[in-house]
Amino acid sequence: MSVLIDESTRLCVAGITGREGTFHTLNNRNYGTNVVGGVTPGKGGQDVEGIPVFDSWADAVSQVQPNTAMIFVPPRFAADAILEAAAAGVELVVAITEGIPAHDELRVYNTLKRDGHTAGTAGSGTRLIGPNCPGILSPGKANVGIIPASFFKQGNVGVVSRSGTLTYQIGNEIARAGFGCSSIVGIGGDPVPGSSFVDVLELFEADDDTELVVLSGEIGGSAEEEAAEYIAENMSKPVVAYIAGFTAPAGKQMGHAGAIVSGSSGTAAAKAQALEAKGVRVGRTPTEAAAIAVEVLGGASVSA
């Protein structure tokens, strides 16, 4: 198994006709993902390398029944594209778009919530992953987004991360040590992500193929602290963490819109402390986090 995407994924892409959208859609298809369509208003009836393009999400849903949407449109159109895909009944929306205004993200999150799309249980409406995220990869099964699949192998480590490239770094170190991943989920670095660490941890806990989870966090907000609480109360599987931004100065935005420390909360030290207080081992470098994961897995496979 894996989480969120697999062989049953039917992907439809908003922004498929854009340069980046086309490139990554075809990449995803080459990996083996079942790409059933694309949506670009005004370009319905066209096709991208044989993938049919529709004017609206309603059209796409009625004609090719996608269960997963990928959002690749510019920031100013992204909020409406997400809501339109959800309204059309697509179960999973993965928003890659970077630079969406925070107020739009707030509106999207609360509209999905109001309309009964909870991020919790499967089959209860639309789940949003991202925005400003690299997407999801279930090695050997499906790839939705921009994660370079060649650095990951199929296996039993679940990875959930706020950062893209940092995920590649950690995942690759795990792969070099001979281990693979069940799924890699990028939740994004923005202030109001559709899904949080807790939402994805819940999925990994329920996934038979995941034996251990690597959580990669960063400064800003309190999602890591909330994850620590959740892990202590609800997770039977081991979780290893890494937090980026120990040396980030307060009050400065470090690239990600969410990565800004204000006041005393949200620091990397506070997050590492919160996680360690709940028994989660935290690597001080990505290499150390991967090494801890490998150590734990090594022990697990010997005892198995």
Partner 1 sequence: MDLLEYQGKQLFARHGLKVSQGLAVTTVEDALIAADEVGYPVVVKAQVLIGGRGKAGGVKLAANESEAREHAGNILGMDIKGHTVRTVWIEHASDIASEYYASVLLDRSAKQPLVMFSVEGGVDIEEVAERTPEKLIRHHVDALAGLSHDEGVQIARDGGADDDVVDGVADALVALYEVWLEEDATLAEINPLIVTPEREVKALDSKVSLDGNALYRHPENQSLSDKENEDPLERRAKEEGLQFVKLDGDIGILGNGAGLVMSTLDVVSHAGGAPANFLDAGGGSNAETIKQAVDLILANEAVKAVLVNIFAGITRCDEVALGLIAAFGEIKPSVPFVVRLDGTNDVEGRRLLGEAALPNVHSAKTMNEAAEMVVALAAGQSVGAVA
**What is the size of the binding site for partner 1 (CB under 8 A)?**
62
Which secondary structure element, helix H or strand E, spans residue 274, and what is its range? Answer: helix 268-277
Instruction: Kindly state the smallest distance separating residue 72's Cβ from partner 1, in Å.
Output: 12
Assign 297 to helix, strand or coil: helix
Can residue 103 be called a binding residue for partner 1 (CB under 8 A)? yes
Distance CA 170, CA 175 (A): 9
> How far, in Å, CA of 13 to CA of 39, rounded?
6
Contact set for partner 1, span 155-174 (CB under 8 A): 161-169, 172
CB atoms within 10 A of CB 106: 13
**What strand order describes the sheet that includes 10-14?**
47-48, 51-54, 34-39, 10-14, 68-71, 92-95, 127-129
Stretch that binds partner 1, among 61-69, 216-224, 273-281, 293-301 (CB under 8 A): 216-224
127 binds partner 1 (CB under 8 A): no
Identify which of 171, 166, 134, 179 has the alpha carbon closest to the alpha carbon of residue 150.
Answer: 171
236 binding partner 1? (CB under 8 A): no
Residue-wise over 165-192: b if at least 16 C-beta within 10 A, else e?
Answer: ebbbbbbbbbbeeebbbbbbbbbbbbbb
- Distance in angstroms (rounded) separating the CA atoms of residues 41 and 281: 48
Question: How far is residue 213's CA from residue 61's CA, in Å, rounded to a whole number?
Answer: 34
CA nearest 198: which of 219, 182, 179, 213?
A: 213
193 CA to centre of own chain: 10
100 near partner 1 (CB under 8 A)? yes
x/- contact string, 48-87, with partner 1 (CB under 8 A)? ---------------------------xx-----------
Query: Which of 24, 103, 117, 256 does the annotation list as catalytic?
Result: 256
Tokens in use for 283?
């690597």
Binding mask 14-33 for partner 1 (x = CB under 8 A): ------x-------------
**Minimum CB separation from partner 1 for residue 181, in Å?**
15
Q: Which of 54, 57, 72, 151 binds partner 1 (CB under 8 A)?
A: 151
Q: Which of 40, 218, 231, 272 binds partner 1 (CB under 8 A)?
A: 218
Question: Is 287 an interacting residue with respect to partner 1 (CB under 8 A)?
Answer: yes
**Which stretch, 53-61, 122-130, 199-207, 220-228, contacts partner 1 (CB under 8 A)?**
220-228
Binding mask 174-193 for partner 1 (x = CB under 8 A): ---------------x-xx-
Q: Is 24 a catalytic residue?
A: no
Q: With respect to partner 1, which residue has the nearer C-beta, 60 or 147?
A: 147
| DSSP H or E run through 282 | strand 281-283
Are 151 and 175 in contact by the 8 Å Cβ rule? The answer is yes
Could you tell me the smallest distance in angstroms from the CB atom of residue 253 to partner 1?
A: 8
- What positions carry a catalytic annotation? 256
In the complex, the residues that contact partner 1 under the rule CB under 8 A are 20, 75-76, 99-104, 106-107, 109-111, 114, 134, 146-148, 151, 161-169, 172, 189, 191-192, 216, 218-223, 226, 242, 244-249, 252-259, 263, 268, 284-287
